[in-house]
Amino acid sequence: MICGHPTGSVKEQTAGNIYATGLAKQGLVAITFDASFQGESGGEPRFTEDPSFRTGDFSYVIDYLVTQPWADEDRIGALAICGGAGYAVAATMIDRRIKALTTIAGSNVGRLMREGFSNYDPIAMLEAVAQQRTAEARGKDEQINNLLPPSVEAAHENGLTDIDVVEATEYYKTDRGAHENGCTSFNFARQGALATWDAYAFAETFLTQPLLIVIGDRPGAFASYRLSMELYGRAASKQKELKVLEGVTHYDLYDQPQATGQALEAAVPFFQKHL
């Protein structure tokens, strides 16, 4: 089982300490990793969120797995959370070594970049990115943008009341989920690639593996409810399941025992059946 972390996270946050651990306790071998340019992985410039790298990371993990004597190359699955789930969708379409996929609170960062992340003006964002890259090429410092307010109090003071934004801030900016390698930041000059990328492109043709989608029914700005529903409808998978958890938010599915427990209760038998 390959567990992919959310956008702006590291392997120790939800992918590793919750889902990989939960799968392992049920007898499934799980591996998680830091995305390229992030956490303990290498790559420069740091905080680069590039969809080609993020998608390819899954295949590099598989390249490692198939060299291990204990790994069955015909029984490899993927589980990923939030933006990481979108990358896992794209990876599953490309790499047929992934035999089954589960998305948890799955989102599509490319879509969000064209929407709220660019203030619904992606062309203006790309123009600003171009100017920043030129400035950096001429010696200016990099521009690293934090995706979240520094605290829940700061979010409220700035009128940021959306449930996903507030709960993301609580998760990443407090002891609840903060990690020393975590960043929740984008290198602005390197985020342009996301504007023209779509995690679900060609899902009607290429996403044929068994698919389980787990979401909460309390939607927020990061659109996991809307985008996961879209994926369920578009995926070509003949064996696909949708589990909507009542009263559950996007970030409940990161670490809250009741929500993550229900997600794992669905994911474990799903993988046991299809792998």
**Confidence (pTM):** 0.96
- How far is residue 97's CA from residue 94's CA, in Å, rounded to a whole number? 9
Nearest residue to 162 via CA among 239, 96, 251: 251
Burial 89-108 (b: 16+ CB within 10 A, else e): bbbbbebebbbbbbbbbbbb
pLDDT score at 177: 95
* pLDDT mean across residues, the chain: 97
Structural domain boundaries in the chain: 2-274
Burial 203-240 (b: 16+ CB within 10 A, else e): beebbbbbbbbbbbebbbbbbbbebbbbbbeebebeeb
What three-state secondary structure class fits 142? coil
Burial label, 119 (beta-carbon count in 10 A; 0-12, 13-18, 19+): exposed
Report strand pairing: 240-249 vs 2-4. unpaired
Residues 6+ apart with CB under 8 A from 182: 8, 9, 10, 12, 13, 39, 172
The pLDDT tens digits of the residues spanning 4-60 come to 999 989 999 999 999 999 999 999 999 999 999 999 999 999 999 999 999 999 999
CATH homologous superfamily of 2-274 equals Alpha/Beta hydrolase fold, catalytic domain (3.40.50.1820)
Nearest residue to 150 via CA among 171, 167, 173: 173
What three-state secondary structure class fits 185? strand
DSSP structure class, residue 70: T
- How far is residue 203's CA from residue 92's CA, in Å, rounded to a whole number? 10
DSSP structure class, residue 189: G
Residue 183 binned pLDDT confidence (cut-offs 50, 70, 90): confident
- Stretch 166-194: mean pLDDT: 95
pLDDT score at 105: 98
79, 220 contact by CB (below 8 A): no
In degrees, rounded to 5, the angle at the alpha carbon of residue 95 between the alpha carbons of residues 85 and 19 is 35
The pLDDT tens digits of the residues spanning 136-159 come to 999 999 999 999 999 999 999 999
β-bridge partners, 104:
81, 214
HSE-CB for 224 with a 13 A CA cutoff? 35
